[in-house]
């Protein structure tokens, strides 16, 4: 994917002794080839004090994304702030979910080789999905990690699928019901199916039209033999009730609604929710 120093630092808190009055600020940054987003959280007031999302007109390569990230950091003076925690979320389709009982850290490439083209200089990492015996194996953007390390020192990084699955599972309180969650982004959707506090399905798909969108939703429902008359479909992200994607879902599925997770509702209601990114916010 990329070359460079492999500063793959995970789950280490940044020690801030020079500017302790700023140590209550937390930063999360999401990286993808289609866009960037970040949030700064005031952990004392439990409020978002700065956030921004940028969508690219066309898909970039990792080197172009790094250039745009540097511009975003400088425009918002993020490099001048001392953060108590920094988290980077890597969003791509270069991942595979593995049951923990089958996971072997020495076999990372084998988990990806059937659905991802692995290059010789790719660094493969993994996240453990807390309390659910699942490991997410993925390829992060190494050049982005190098740059963040140079700016802030030690930091934590995760794949977007890890953040999304953990957040949805922690909010799931629907007993034995089966719920399909569709996270809508620019030209990409994440589909998560939960039942009885367990993950039944997760995958990411790219799409161009509303017909592509509904195809992936209905195909997933069909593969899992779920009933469109009884299944609850919850949409969130870049979607609103009544827009084209919502309307086409309602045409084929009876129970459709826009979803706001309870643990993030305060932040979403008090922020520009048309631009704030669910995954970036969930990582804080």
Check if the beta carbon of residue 171 is closer than 8 Å to that of residue 183: no
At residue 94, what are phi and psi to the nearest 5 degrees? -90, 65
Do 171-261 and 20-165+271-282 have the same topology in CATH?
yes
Which pLDDT belongs to residue 79? 94
> Alpha-carbon dihedral of residues 49, 55, 190, 154, nearest 10 degrees?
-50
3-state SS class at 136: strand
**From first to last of its 284 residues, what are the pLDDT tens digits of the chain?**
333 344 444 544 444 444 445 478 999 999 999 999 999 998 888 888 899 999 999 999 999 999 999 999 999 999 999 999 999 999 999 999 999 999 999 999 999 998 888 888 889 999 999 888 999 999 999 999 999 999 999 999 999 999 999 999 988 876 788 999 999 988 899 999 999 889 999 999 999 999 999 999 999 999 999 999 999 999 998 899 999 999 999 999 999 999 987 655 445 545 554 455 778 777 77
Nearest in space to 70 (alpha carbons), one of 157, 156, 155, 147? 147
Domain map of the chain by residue range?
Answer: 20-165+271-282, 171-261
Q: What is the CATH number of domain 171-261?
A: 3.30.420.260
* Distance separating alpha carbons of residues 45 and 272, to the nearest angstrom: 18
pLDDT at 271: 56
**Cα 214 versus chain centre, distance:** 21
DSSP state of 22: G
Nearest CA among 171, 140, 135, 173 for reference residue 157 = 140
What is d(CA 43, CA 122) in angstroms, rounded to the nearest whole number? 35
- Residue tagged 């039942």 (tokens): 195
Given this model, what pLDDT does residue 281 score?
76
What is the topology classification, in CATH, of domain 20-165+271-282?
Nucleotidyltransferase; domain 5 (3.30.420)
């Amino acid at each position: 994917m990329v070359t460079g120093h492999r500063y793959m630092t995970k789950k280490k808190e940044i020690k801030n002794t020079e500017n302790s009055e700023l140590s209550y600020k937390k930063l999360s940054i999401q990286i993808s080839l289609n866009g960037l987003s970040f949030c700064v959280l005031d952990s004392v007031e439990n409020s978002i004090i700065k956030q921004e999302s940028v969508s690219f007109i066309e898909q970039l390569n990792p080197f172009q994304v790094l250039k745009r990230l540097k511009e975003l950091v400088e425009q918002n003076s993020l490099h001048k702030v001392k953060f108590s925690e920094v988290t980077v979320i890597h969003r791509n389709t270069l991942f595979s979910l593995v049951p923990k009982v089958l996971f072997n850290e020495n076999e990372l490439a084998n988990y990806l080789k059937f659905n991802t083209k692995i290059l010789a200089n790719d660094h493969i990492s993994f996240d453990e999905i807390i309390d659910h015996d699942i490991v997410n194996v993925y390829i992060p953007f190494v050049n982005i990690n190098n740059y963040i390390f140079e700016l802030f020192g030690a930091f934590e990084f995760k794949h977007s699928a890890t953040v999304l699955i953990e957040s949805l599972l922690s909010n799931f309180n629907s007993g034995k019901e089966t719920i399909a969650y569709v996270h809508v982004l620019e030209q990409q959707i994440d589909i998560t199916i939960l039942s009885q506090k367990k993950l039944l399905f997760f995958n990411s798909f790219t799409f161009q039209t509303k017909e592509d969108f509904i195809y992936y939703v209905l195909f997933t429902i069909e593969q899992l033999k779920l009933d469109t008359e009884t299944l609850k479909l919850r949409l969130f992200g870049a979607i609103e009730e009544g827009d084209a994607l919502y309307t086409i879902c309602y045409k084929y599925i009876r129970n459709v609604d826009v979803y706001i997770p309870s643990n993030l509702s305060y932040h979403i209601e008090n922020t520009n929710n048309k631009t704030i990114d669910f995954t970036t916010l969930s990582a804080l």
